[in-house]
Protein backbone atom coordinates (compact mmCIF):
# COMPACT_ATOMS: atom_id res chain seq x y z
CA UNK A 1 0.00 0.00 0.00
CA UNK A 2 1.37 3.39 -0.90
CA UNK A 3 2.03 5.97 1.75
CA UNK A 4 -0.67 8.25 0.26
CA UNK A 5 -3.32 5.48 0.41
CA UNK A 6 -2.22 4.59 3.93
CA UNK A 7 -2.68 8.23 5.05
CA UNK A 8 -6.15 8.39 3.38
CA UNK A 9 -7.24 5.15 5.04
CA UNK A 10 -5.87 6.31 8.39
CA UNK A 11 -7.66 9.67 8.06
CA UNK A 12 -10.94 7.99 7.12
CA UNK A 13 -10.55 5.63 10.06
CA UNK A 14 -9.94 8.55 12.46
CA UNK A 15 -12.91 10.52 11.09
CA UNK A 16 -15.13 7.45 11.37
CA UNK A 17 -13.97 6.86 14.93
CA UNK A 18 -14.66 10.48 15.85
CA UNK A 19 -18.16 10.22 14.34
CA UNK A 20 -18.87 7.11 16.41
CA UNK A 21 -17.65 8.87 19.57
CA UNK A 22 -19.80 11.94 18.78
CA UNK A 23 -22.86 9.74 18.21
CA UNK A 24 -22.31 7.93 21.52
CA UNK A 25 -21.89 11.28 23.30
CA UNK A 26 -25.09 12.54 21.67
CA UNK A 27 -27.04 9.52 22.90
CA UNK A 28 -25.62 9.88 26.41
CA UNK A 29 -26.41 13.61 26.44
CA UNK A 30 -30.00 12.98 25.33
CA UNK A 31 -30.44 10.71 28.35
CA UNK A 32 -28.35 12.64 30.90
CA UNK A 33 -29.55 16.21 30.26
CA UNK A 34 -33.25 15.59 31.05
CA UNK A 35 -32.24 13.60 34.14
CA UNK A 36 -29.96 16.44 35.23
CA UNK A 37 -32.76 18.99 34.68
CA UNK A 38 -35.12 16.97 36.90
CA UNK A 39 -32.44 16.73 39.61
CA UNK A 40 -31.86 20.53 39.47
CA UNK A 41 -35.62 21.17 39.78
CA UNK A 42 -35.86 18.81 42.79
CA UNK A 43 -32.87 20.51 44.46
CA UNK A 44 -34.48 23.93 44.00
CA UNK A 45 -37.54 22.60 45.84
CA UNK A 46 -35.43 21.82 48.94
CA UNK A 47 -35.00 25.55 49.62
CA UNK A 48 -38.63 26.20 50.64
CA UNK A 49 -38.82 22.94 52.57
CA UNK A 50 -35.77 23.96 54.62
CA UNK A 51 -36.97 27.55 55.11
CA UNK A 52 -40.50 26.62 56.12
CA UNK A 53 -39.38 23.76 58.38
CA UNK A 54 -36.99 26.13 60.16
CA UNK A 55 -39.68 28.82 60.56
CA UNK A 56 -42.12 26.21 61.90
CA UNK A 57 -39.59 25.09 64.54
CA UNK A 58 -38.77 28.66 65.52
CA UNK A 59 -42.49 29.48 65.82
CA UNK A 60 -42.92 26.50 68.14
CA UNK A 61 -40.03 27.68 70.32
CA UNK A 62 -41.37 31.26 70.29
CA UNK A 63 -44.81 30.02 71.37
CA UNK A 64 -43.30 27.87 74.14
CA UNK A 65 -41.54 30.94 75.51
CA UNK A 66 -44.20 33.65 75.01
CA UNK A 67 -47.53 31.78 74.65
CA UNK A 68 -48.21 33.55 71.32
CA UNK A 69 -46.94 33.13 67.77
CA UNK A 70 -44.64 35.71 66.28
CA UNK A 71 -46.26 37.99 63.72
CA UNK A 72 -42.95 38.53 61.90
CA UNK A 73 -40.17 36.27 60.73
CA UNK A 74 -37.69 38.95 61.83
CA UNK A 75 -38.78 38.49 65.47
CA UNK A 76 -37.82 34.80 65.19
CA UNK A 77 -34.19 35.92 64.72
CA UNK A 78 -33.46 33.73 61.73
CA UNK A 79 -30.71 35.51 59.84
CA UNK A 80 -30.59 33.26 56.80
CA UNK A 81 -34.23 33.68 55.84
CA UNK A 82 -34.99 36.02 52.96
CA UNK A 83 -38.53 37.04 52.04
CA UNK A 84 -37.77 36.41 48.37
CA UNK A 85 -35.21 34.36 46.47
CA UNK A 86 -34.66 33.61 42.80
CA UNK A 87 -37.24 30.80 42.89
CA UNK A 88 -39.62 31.49 45.80
CA UNK A 89 -41.48 34.26 47.59
CA UNK A 90 -42.04 33.72 51.33
CA UNK A 91 -44.85 35.03 53.50
CA UNK A 92 -46.80 34.11 56.61
CA UNK A 93 -50.16 34.57 58.25
CA UNK A 94 -50.71 34.29 62.02
CA UNK A 95 -53.84 33.83 64.13
CA UNK A 96 -54.28 33.13 67.86
CA UNK A 97 -54.42 29.38 67.27
CA UNK A 98 -52.09 28.88 64.29
CA UNK A 99 -49.43 30.36 62.06
CA UNK A 100 -48.95 29.55 58.39
CA UNK A 101 -45.70 29.93 56.45
CA UNK A 102 -45.71 29.97 52.66
CA UNK A 103 -43.07 29.36 50.02
CA UNK A 104 -44.78 30.22 46.74
CA UNK A 105 -42.96 29.29 43.56
CA UNK A 106 -42.07 32.05 41.14
CA UNK A 107 -41.74 29.50 38.32
CA UNK A 108 -44.43 27.31 36.77
CA UNK A 109 -42.22 24.18 36.92
CA UNK A 110 -41.63 24.29 40.72
CA UNK A 111 -44.04 23.27 43.47
CA UNK A 112 -45.17 25.63 46.25
CA UNK A 113 -45.21 24.75 49.95
CA UNK A 114 -47.05 25.75 53.14
CA UNK A 115 -46.22 25.00 56.74
CA UNK A 116 -48.55 25.27 59.69
CA UNK A 117 -47.99 25.40 63.43
CA UNK A 118 -51.08 24.79 65.56
CA UNK A 119 -51.92 25.20 69.23
CA UNK A 120 -53.37 21.91 70.50
CA UNK A 121 -54.20 20.37 73.87
CA UNK A 122 -51.03 18.67 75.15
CA UNK A 123 -52.78 15.33 75.87
CA UNK A 124 -53.24 14.94 72.08
CA UNK A 125 -49.47 14.42 71.77
CA UNK A 126 -48.36 13.62 75.34
CA UNK A 127 -50.43 10.94 77.05
CA UNK A 128 -49.34 11.93 80.58
CA UNK A 129 -49.84 15.72 80.13
CA UNK A 130 -52.45 17.54 82.20
CA UNK A 131 -55.69 18.14 80.33
CA UNK A 132 -55.34 21.94 80.68
CA UNK A 133 -51.83 22.11 79.23
CA UNK A 134 -51.43 23.31 75.64
CA UNK A 135 -48.60 22.72 73.19
CA UNK A 136 -47.91 23.12 69.49
CA UNK A 137 -47.53 20.77 66.58
CA UNK A 138 -46.42 21.47 63.04
CA UNK A 139 -46.85 20.19 59.51
CA UNK A 140 -45.27 20.86 56.12
CA UNK A 141 -47.35 20.45 52.98
CA UNK A 142 -46.27 20.52 49.34
CA UNK A 143 -48.55 21.27 46.42
CA UNK A 144 -49.56 18.20 44.42
CA UNK A 145 -48.54 19.94 41.20
CA UNK A 146 -46.11 22.63 40.11
CA UNK A 147 -47.24 26.21 39.69
CA UNK A 148 -47.16 29.73 41.07
CA UNK A 149 -50.33 29.54 43.18
CA UNK A 150 -50.32 29.88 46.99
CA UNK A 151 -51.27 26.46 48.42
CA UNK A 152 -54.22 26.12 50.80
CA UNK A 153 -53.54 26.13 54.55
CA UNK A 154 -53.35 22.86 56.47
CA UNK A 155 -56.23 22.18 58.84
CA UNK A 156 -56.68 21.30 62.50
CA UNK A 157 -59.74 19.20 63.33
CA UNK A 158 -59.90 18.45 67.06
CA UNK A 159 -56.13 18.32 67.43
CA UNK A 160 -55.55 16.29 64.26
CA UNK A 161 -53.66 18.35 61.70
CA UNK A 162 -53.69 17.52 58.01
CA UNK A 163 -52.71 18.98 54.67
CA UNK A 164 -55.51 20.52 52.66
CA UNK A 165 -56.84 19.10 49.41
CA UNK A 166 -54.34 19.74 46.62
CA UNK A 167 -51.34 19.31 48.94
CA UNK A 168 -49.58 16.41 50.60
CA UNK A 169 -47.57 16.08 53.80
CA UNK A 170 -43.80 16.35 53.44
CA UNK A 171 -41.09 15.40 55.93
CA UNK A 172 -39.78 18.46 57.78
CA UNK A 173 -36.05 18.99 57.59
CA UNK A 174 -35.58 20.41 61.11
CA UNK A 175 -37.25 17.72 63.23
- Cα–Cα distance list, 116 to 7, 22, 130 (Å): 73, 52, 24
Looking at per-residue pLDDT, the higher value among 119 and 78 belongs to 119
Considering only CA atoms, which of 62, 137, 70, 143 is closest in space to residue 105?
143
pLDDT at 38: 40
Point out the least confidently predicted range of 9-13, 19-23, 110-114: 9-13
pLDDT at 46: 87
Residue 23 to residue 25: CA distance in whole angstroms: 5
On the question of pLDDT at 40 being above 50, the answer is no
What rounded mean pLDDT belongs to the chain? 80
Classify residue 75 by its DSSP letter: G
Find the helix or strand (DSSP H, E) in which 115 lies: strand 113-121
On the question of pLDDT at 28 being above 60, the answer is no
pLDDT at 159: 78
pLDDT at 35: 41
- The neighbour count for residue 83, using CB atoms within 10 Å, is 11
CB 119 within 8 A of CB 64: no
34-43 burial, b if ≥16 CB within 10 A, otherwise e?
A: eeeeeeeeee
Rounded mean pLDDT of 51-55?
Answer: 92
How would you class 69 by CB atoms within 10 Å of its CB: exposed for 0-12, middle for 13-18, buried for 19 or more?
buried
pLDDT at 10: 56
Give the rounded percent of residues in the chain with a pLDDT score beyond 90.
Answer: 50
pLDDT at 37: 40
Looking at per-residue pLDDT, the higher value among 49 and 6 belongs to 49
On the question of pLDDT at 48 being above 70, the answer is yes
Q: Is the pTM of this model over 0.85?
A: no
Each residue of 84-141: pLDDT tens digit?
Answer: 899 999 999 999 899 999 999 999 999 999 999 999 887 666 667 677 788 899 999 9
Looking at per-residue pLDDT, the higher value among 56 and 8 belongs to 56
Considering only CA atoms, which of 119, 112, 117, 78 is closest in space to residue 100?
117
Amino acid sequence: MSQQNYKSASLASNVGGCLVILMVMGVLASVAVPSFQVRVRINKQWEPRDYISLINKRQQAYFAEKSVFSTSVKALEIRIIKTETENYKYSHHTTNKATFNYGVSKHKDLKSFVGGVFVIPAPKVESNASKNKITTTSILCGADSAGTIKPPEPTNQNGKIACATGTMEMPQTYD
